[in-house]
Amino acid sequence: MDESLLRELVPAVIGVLVRRGADFASAEDAVQEALIRALGAWPDDPPRDPKGWLVAAAWRRFLDAARAEASRRGREDTVEAEPPPGEAPGTDDTLRLFFLCAHPDLPPAAAVALTLRAVGGLTTRQVAAAYLVPEATMAQRISRAKKRIGDVRLDRPGDLATVLRVLYLVFNEGYGGDLDLAAEAIRLARQLAALTDEPEVAGLLALMLLHHARRDSRTGTGGRLVPLAEQDRARWDTRLIAEGVAVLQAALARDHLGEYQAQAAIAALHADAPSTGETDWVQIVEWYDELLRLTDSPVVRLNRAVALGEADGPRAGLAALAELDPGLPRHTASRAYLHERAGDLDLAAELYAAAARLAPSVPERDHLTREAARVRARVPR
């Protein structure tokens, strides 16, 4: 059974139920029930019309639930008057569902969970396993999200920027449980790109593809973090890089630059370089300047300072860092790196050790601790 195809059908089936009179929350619950039935029945008896099968099963589940609650009698009369289930209509509500699930009123965690269920077609158990939380916890999170947007109709305009942020959050979760969230985010981004010709959607897809191409080289034995300069570039997925570059070039040709396109351009320059030393750092700094014009983000300023240190020398990078808040994430680690490049080994070792104490994750802490030990070993005695 092609589970990917099954998941891709879910938003369309939800849209059919909503158009027949179901509210979003009830439709989404009914489709989830149908999805679970399909996962159990289809391997032995695959339907000739998968979408029609899901529509029929979900509609029956919705009607059963509606009839079971006397308080919904008025709504039941309405839905009973709708045409009986037949051939599934061709209208695709996936884009509207993207907007609904990434509603600005929802906290990011809830928007991510709801998007994975209603648009991604994942079960609550799969989403919970991916985020390493109990299924009951995830079910409550999704239930609260659906209640919050219960009165929002599918015909209201959505915020594409919020949808893109939610997809990027999914992508950055990477891998958890038995579900590859990075791959799932790419699948959803492809789906979104097929529904809209907005350059920023293509920019986000390109960014994901270019980052994902380097995934296998980012960690070593035992989950050891491998920085970009030390990665085995022969392990990078050239097929994904080529696709990402092609998607990016088509987006940039539209001449409507956005932050994801600028980030993807930086990732493409890294992917194109045979080594760190041969990277076009001058052009990377220029792209960071474009990104700052779009976002004015302190984190972007920090990354630009490091890139400037590669392009114009470590002292230039340190001067740029000195203008930033020392409390920024990875500010201390960046200072350590640039001081090492400038030959200030004692100070660099101290800063690497300090950065290790501030590290947000165990792999990063261990990496910075090793860097501190490596630099100390280089200090003349």
To the nearest 10 degrees (0 to 180), the angle between helices 238-252 and 259-272 is 140
Q: What is the pTM of this model?
A: 0.81
pLDDT of residue 353 exceeding 90: yes
pLDDT recorded at residue 160: 86
For the stretch 321-339, pLDDT in tens is: 999 999 999 999 999 999 9
* Number of residues that make up the chain: 381
pLDDT above 70: percentage of residues in the chain: 89
**Which amino acid type is present at position 237?**
D
Chain segment 43-94, per-residue pLDDT in tens: 888 888 888 899 999 998 888 888 776 454 554 454 444 544 444 444 456 7
Domain positions in the chain are: 3-92, 320-381
What are 122-146's pLDDT values in tens digits?
A: 888 888 887 778 999 989 888 888 8
In a 13 Å sphere around the CA of 132, the CA atoms on its Cβ side amount to 6
- Please report the pLDDT score of residue 80 as a whole number: 47
Nearest to 94 by CA among 180, 30, 170, 158: 158
CA distance 99 to 94: 9
Task: Give CA separation, 168 vs 165, 207, 258, in Å.
Answer: 5, 10, 14
Q: How far apart are CA 293 and CA 277, in angstroms?
A: 27
Mind listing the pLDDT tens digit for each residue in 172-204?
A: 876 555 567 888 889 889 989 988 889 999 999
Q: What's the pLDDT score for residue 330?
A: 95
The stretch 348-377 carries a mean pLDDT of: 95
pLDDT over 90 at 237, yes or no: yes
The fraction of the chain above a pLDDT of 90, given in percent, is 46
Nearest to 81 by CA among 94, 96, 66: 66
> What pLDDT is attached to residue 155?
58
Neighbours of 174 (CB within 10 A): 16
Which 3-state string (H, E, C) describes the chain? CCHHHHHHHHHHHHHHHHHCCCCHHHHHHHHHHHHHHHHHHCCCCCCCCHHHHHHHHHHHHHHHHHHHCHHHHHHHHHHHCCCCCCCCCCCCCHHHHHHHHCCCCCCHHHHHHHHHHHCCCCCHHHHHHHCCCCHHHHHHHHHHHHHHCCCCCCCCCCCHHHHHHHHHHHHHHCEECCEEHHHHHHHHHHHHHHHCCCHHHHHHHHHHHHHHCCHHHCECHHHCECCHHHCCHHHCCHHHHHHHHHHHHHHHCCCCCCHHHHHHHHHHHHHHCCCCCCCCHHHHHHHHHHHHHHHCCHHHHHHHHHHHHHHHCHHHHHHHHCCCCCCCCCHHHHHHHHHHHCCCHHHHHHHHHHHHHHCCCHHHHHHHHHHHHHHHHHCCC
**Rounded Cα–Cα distance for residues 346 and 342 (Å):** 11
